[in-house]
């Protein structure tokens, strides 16, 4: 019995050893089965958009300008990228003899189209479209508008700023790709017969003075945004805008000035730094808006796009002039509560009283009740009220200076009022944002329920007068896109580029 069991055990061991030996000798492996598939995609391409601008000019302005002799310069603007771009020109850093600069008129031609005609110191040209890989020549002609002998043998120096941005973006720097080039310029005056009778005297032109508290006020605020009526525009609570007004007696450059806001956590954060370097004349307005004209409920093109929206639970905006040290120019809101003026149920703006006084006191503000403003400054399907970029003519303004025929605001009452310059607070967590997405939302604090109006809504009609620079030049070019302000589409001449179809946007 034990012998038989032993034999069986030996046989089992031998079988196991032979199986292992077979795996090693014949390299046998376990069989594995699975599904497999592979797809190949060919002829795939990836493209990248490039926006790049360059300027070139061999000679500066020549000859010397006199009352009977103009001076000219030609500057070539080249689109080095593969995107259709729009470009405009502004001026900065006026130097040397400002009195000569102030008496020069400038005309800029792009081909046969005039993109600017006016004072040199107010230069802000109409945008034009420049196709990819195309050179557009700009011809500059400067004319002396005064034969005063005191203007002889002087020099006017300035920087010509060329801004370029994507053709489908309305405002430079608001989104998308952009580029900026700076070109130094010098215009010299010659000599002329001093015995000639001088031209009629003009008021003396002084360089913009250093900013002072109260020179500019935060004049109107749409802090609650606009009604969200689910139309193609990006309206709603993000549709905020702020209107500034120059109430000083002189002209001001606001470039480099910045607005801050107090967030719901109590910190003062930066809202926007102004990049537009146009001169804001005395009595003129400057509108900052989160959306452009096409995406906002207002029918007004803002001067600058705000980088982000602001909180209004503990509302406060501050305007600073950027000097060697920040100068607090004006304050709106007390920073303790939601604004008590303005109507977030019916969506009416908060307007500064005709006599501005201290902006931290809501008694110096009123709710806009001007039904004519809806027709004049808002899209056709809107019921909001406010006067962006125009005089506050609301019947709800109880200031003594407001009557049936309003007159411009008096400057002296603000400049001499010590309450307009509260103590400057330290700015905490300064956070500059360079881009924003239109679809960002803030906590929903608005409602679409329109309640009966309880305050006096008698009408007053306000009229505004737009400067020539606000009127874009219209050219009958079908491929031109509807961009605000409307750019001019210049077809390159043979001397510029041999692009067979400069209106072709498929670049």
User: Strands 258-262 and 252-253: what pairing?
Assistant: unpaired
Residues written for the chain:
507
Q: Which of 214, 210, 212 is nearest to 352 (CA)?
A: 214
Q: Which pLDDT value is given to residue 499? A: 41
State the average pLDDT for the chain.
75
Cα separation, 281 vs 283, in Å, equals 6
The SS3 call for residue 30 is coil
Window from 191-200, 345-354, 453-462 with minimum mean pLDDT: 453-462
Task: For 208-436+450-462, give the CATH class.
Answer: mainly beta
Q: How confident is the model at residue 195 (pLDDT cuts 50, 70, 90)?
A: low
The string of DSSP letters for 278-301 reads -EE-TT-EEEEESS-TTTSSBSS-
Q: Which helix (H) or strand (E) holds 414?
A: helix 412-415
| Tokens matching residue 134 | 């195309």
Q: What is the per-residue pLDDT across 241-273, written as a single tens digit (0 to 9) for each?
A: 999 999 998 888 898 899 999 999 999 999 999
Domain limits of the chain?
53-188, 208-436+450-462
Question: Tokens 């209004």 — which residue?
Answer: 312
The pair phi, psi for residue 52, each rounded to 5°, is -145, 130
Exposure class string for 28-49: b at 16+ Cβ within 10 A, else e: eeeeeeeeeeeeeeeeeeeeee
Cβ pair 96, 462 in contact under 8 A: no
Q: Which pLDDT value is given to residue 469? A: 40
List of residues 6+ apart from 5 with CB closer than 8 A: none
pLDDT at 452 over 60: no
Quick check: do 53-188 and 208-436+450-462 share a fold?
A: yes
Cα separation, 208 vs 210, in Å, equals 7
Q: How confident is the model at residue 14 (pLDDT cuts 50, 70, 90)?
A: confident
Query: HSE on the CB side for 87, CA within 13 Å?
Result: 32
User: Strands 317-321 and 258-262: what pairing?
Assistant: antiparallel
Q: How confident is the model at residue 29 (pLDDT cuts 50, 70, 90)?
A: low
Q: What is the per-residue pLDDT across 116-146, written as a single tens digit (0 to 9) for each?
A: 999 998 898 888 888 888 888 899 999 998 8
Cα separation, 123 vs 133, in Å, equals 26
| Tokens matching residue 170 | 């309305």
**Distance between start and end Cα atoms, the chain:** 96
pLDDT (average), residues 470-483: 39
Cα separation, 160 vs 218, in Å, equals 30
Query: CA of 360: how far to CAs of 145, 341, 351, in Å?
Result: 45, 12, 13
Cβ pair 438, 291 in contact under 8 A: yes
CATH of domain 53-188: 2.60.40.10
Sign of CA dihedral 477, 79, 435, 223: negative
Window from 202-206, 213-217, 320-324, 325-329 with minimum mean pLDDT: 202-206
Largest CA distance in the chain: 149
Cα separation, 49 vs 134, in Å, equals 16
Q: What is the per-residue pLDDT across 44-83, written as a single tens digit (0 to 9) for each?
A: 555 566 767 788 888 899 999 999 899 999 999 888 888 8
Cα separation, 218 vs 203, in Å, equals 29
Tell me the helices (H) and strands (E) count for the chain, helix number first.
4, 22
Window from 13-17, 318-322, 400-404 with minimum mean pLDDT: 400-404
Cβ pair 112, 136 in contact under 8 A: no
Q: How many CB atoms lie within 10 A of CB 51?
A: 20
Cα separation, 114 vs 60, in Å, equals 21
Q: What is the per-residue pLDDT across 384-428, written as a single tens digit (0 to 9) for each?
A: 999 999 998 776 666 544 433 333 333 333 333 333 333 333 444
Cβ pair 219, 352 in contact under 8 A: yes
């Amino acid at each position: 019995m034990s012998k038989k069991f032993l034999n069986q055990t030996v046989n089992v061991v031998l079988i196991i050893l032979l199986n292992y030996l077979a795996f090693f000798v014949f390299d046998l492996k376990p069989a594995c089965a699975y599904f497999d598939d592979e797809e190949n995609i060919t002829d795939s391409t990836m493209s990248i958009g490039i926006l790049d601008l360059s300027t070139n000019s061999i000679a500066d302005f020549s000859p010397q300008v006199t009352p009977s002799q103009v001076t000219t310069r030609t500057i070539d603007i080249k689109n080095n990228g593969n995107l259709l771009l729009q470009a405009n020109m502004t001026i900065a850093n006026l130097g040397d003899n400002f009195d000569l600069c102030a008496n020069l008129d400038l005309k800029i031609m792009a081909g046969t189209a005039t993109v600017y005609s006016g004072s040199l110191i107010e230069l802000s040209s109409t945008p034009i479209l420049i196709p990819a890989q195309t050179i557009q020549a700009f011809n500059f002609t400067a004319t002396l508008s005064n034969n005063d002998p005191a203007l002889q043998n002087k020099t006017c120096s300035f920087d010509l700023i060329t801004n370029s941005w994507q053709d489908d973006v309305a405002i430079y720097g608001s989104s998308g790709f952009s580029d900026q080039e700076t070109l130094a310029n010098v215009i010299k005056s010659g000599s002329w017969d001093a015995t000639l009778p001088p031209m009629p005297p003009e008021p003396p032109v002084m360089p913009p003075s250093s900013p002072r508290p109260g020179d500019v006020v935060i004049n109107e605020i749409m802090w609650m945004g606009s009604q969200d009526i689910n139309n193609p525009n990006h309206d709603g609570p993000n549709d905020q805008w702020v209107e500034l007004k120059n109430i000083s007696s002189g002209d001001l450059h606001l470039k480099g000035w910045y607005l801050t806001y107090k967030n719901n956590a109590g910190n003062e954060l930066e809202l926007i730094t102004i990049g537009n370097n146009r001169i804001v004349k005395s009595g003129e307005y400057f509108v900052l808006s989160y959306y452009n004209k096409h995406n906002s409920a207002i029918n007004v093109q803002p001067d600058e796009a705000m980088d982000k929206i602001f909180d209004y639970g503990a509302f406060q905006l501050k305007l600073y002039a950027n000097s060697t040290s920040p100068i607090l120019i004006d304050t709106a809101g007390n920073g303790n509560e939601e604004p008590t003026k303005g109507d977030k149920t019916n969506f009416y703006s908060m307007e500064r009283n005709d006599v501005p006084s201290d902006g931290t006191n809501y008694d110096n503000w009123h709710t806009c009740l001007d039904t004519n403003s809806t027709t004049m400054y808002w899209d056709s399907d809107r019921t909001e009220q406010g006067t962006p970029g125009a005089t506050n003519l609301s019947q709800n303004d109880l200031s003594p200076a407001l009557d049936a025929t309003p007159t411009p605001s008096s400057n002296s009452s603000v400049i001499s009022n010590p309450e307009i310059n509260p103590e400057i607070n330290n700015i905490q967590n300064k956070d500059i944002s360079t881009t924003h997405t239109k679809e960002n939302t803030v906590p929903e604090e608005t409602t679409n329920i329109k309640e009966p109006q309880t305050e006096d809504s008698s009408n007053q009609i306000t009229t505004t007068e737009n400067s020539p620079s606000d009127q874009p030049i219209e050219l009958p070019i079908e491929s031109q896109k509807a961009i605000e302000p409307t750019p001019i589409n210049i077809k390159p001449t043979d001397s510029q580029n041999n692009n067979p179809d400069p209106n072709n946007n498929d670049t």
